């Protein structure tokens, strides 16, 4: 049964700390994660209260959307820390359900800090603002290059044999081994897309 969205007399959540702009990750009603660089961008991305199941900031505070008296969406004050086990499971479910959208696969997180770091860093790299040129590193058969984005790395690896030595390092220092993911078993390997599976940095040269 659908319930009417709640109206809220507060027109915003807690004020942003001076000099510290807030960005957010939102989990939508389909279970997917999205990055929003400001509260204004967050509110513009949703059309109704229940469309965002949970909103989380970098400090791990959880929020919900509400309707102001003027019928515009607003961000409620913080509900407190996000529940660690729920967030981790939601993130793992999103990667399994939307593999083509979440292709950077970090080590399994065992703390809330690791989940927050993985979610904010990987979703930002995959769907957020452009990273600075040269902030990525690609090593292929002993030859290093510095692509400007994950999309550039995909283009450089297109039609390459990924069984050879290929290593990718993201702007945060995490090292990955690319693996081709077929969309369907009956399609050729090159019709798929790349997943980037984290490996220990000590294995980057092996």
**What torsion, rounded to 10 degrees, do the Cα atoms 117, 119, 120, 123 define?**
140
- pLDDT recorded at residue 167: 94
Q: Which pLDDT score, from 0 to 100, does residue 148 have?
A: 86
Look up the pTM and report it: 0.81
pLDDT at 186: 52
Residues whose CB is less than 8 angstroms from the CB of residue 42 and which lie 6 or more positions away in sequence, other chains included = 24, 26, 36, 52, 55, 75
pLDDT on residue 76 = 96
Whole-number Å distance between alpha carbons of 81 and 58 = 11
Contacts of 25 (CB under 8 A, 6+ apart): 33, 34, 35, 36, 55, 56, 119, 120, 123
Q: What is the mean pLDDT of each run of 10 residues along the chain (206 residues)?
A: 35 43 92 95 96 97 95 95 97 94 95 96 81 78 88 87 84 93 57 88 66
Element housing 127 (H / E): helix 112-127
């Amino acid at each position: 049964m659908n319930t009417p969205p709640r109206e809220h007399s507060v027109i915003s959540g807690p004020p942003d700390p001076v000099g510290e702009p807030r960005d957010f990750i939102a989990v939508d009603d389909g279970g997917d994660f999205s990055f929003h660089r400001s509260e204004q961008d967050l509110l513009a991305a949703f059309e109704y209260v229940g469309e965002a199941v949970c909103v989380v900031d970098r400090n791990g505070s959880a929020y919900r959307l509400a309707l102001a008296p003027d019928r515009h969406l607003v961000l409620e004050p913080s509900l407190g820390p996000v529940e660690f086990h729920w967030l981790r499971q939601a993130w793992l479910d999103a990667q399994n359900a939307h593999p083509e959208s979440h292709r950077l696969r970090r080590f399994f997180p065992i703390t809330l800090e690791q989940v927050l770091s993985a979610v904010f860093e990987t979703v930002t790299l995959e769907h957020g603002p452009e990273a600075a040129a040269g902030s990525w590193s690609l090593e292929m058969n002993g030859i290093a290059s510095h692509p400007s984005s994950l999309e550039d790395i995909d283009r450089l690896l297109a039609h390459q044999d990924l069984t050879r030595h290929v290593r990718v390092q993201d702007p945060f220092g995490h090292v990955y081994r690319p693996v081709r993911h077929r969309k369907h078993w009956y399609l050729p390997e090159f019709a798929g897309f790349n997943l980037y599976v984290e490996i220990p940095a000590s294995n980057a040269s092996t």
